[in-house]
């Protein structure tokens, strides 16, 4: 019987912890690349042979399109090493590989939409007060 949960930590918790770890080891640039990112764990369903019942898994980071070019091979290697340090051992996955994929969300566009909505809301509020 296994003692693993096979339940990866939530995005907010994991990304926050990973970014703090990267900052503490002097990798602020990589930590900043993870701003507005999320992640997924995909199990290979192949045992890692590191620990009994532990599976190999891939971590997919979903990052803003603008930052994709900054994920060089060295950055990916440093990020994979950091993932292995931070990822909870009780989950039961050995992070064997990493993939960087673009987010379909355009964060600049979302920011502009929020500004337009805020402006509209304030104008409506002002009109109600007059």
Residue 56: give its domain's CATH number: 3.30.70
Its domain, for residue 70, covers 11-104
Give pTM, 2 decimals.
0.75
To the nearest whole percent, how much of the chain has pLDDT over 70?
92
Tell me if 46 is assigned to some domain: yes
Q: Does 120 reside within a domain?
A: no
Least confident of 18-32, 53-67, 100-114: 100-114
Q: Is 59 left (phi over 0), alpha (psi -120 to 50) or beta?
A: beta
The pLDDT of residue 107: 60
Residues of the chain with pLDDT > 90, as a percent, come to 57
pLDDT bin (cut points 50, 70, 90) of residue 122 is confident
Kindly state whether residue 17 falls inside one of the protein's structural domains: yes
Domain assignment of residue 65, yes or no: yes
Domain count, the chain: 1
Q: Which of 83, 84, 93, 4 is closest to 37 using CA atoms? A: 83
Pairwise CA distance, residues 8 & 61, whole Å: 14
């Amino acid at each position: 019987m296994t003692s693993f949960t096979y339940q990866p930590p939530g995005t907010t918790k994991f990304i926050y912890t990973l970014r703090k770890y990267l900052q503490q080891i002097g990798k602020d640039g990589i930590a900043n690349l993870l701003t507005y990112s999320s992640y997924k764990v995909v199990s290979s369903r192949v045992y890692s042979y590191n620990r009994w019942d532990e599976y190999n898994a891939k971590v997919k980071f979903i990052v803003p399109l603008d930052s994709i070019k900054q994920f060089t091979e060295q950055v990916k290697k440093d990020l994979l090493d950091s993932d292995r340090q931070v990822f909870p051992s009780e989950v039961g996955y050995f992070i064997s590989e990493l993939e960087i994929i673009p987010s379909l969300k355009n964060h600049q566009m979302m920011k502009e939409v929020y500004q337009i909505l805020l402006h509209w809301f304030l104008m409506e509020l002002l009109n109600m007060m007059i």
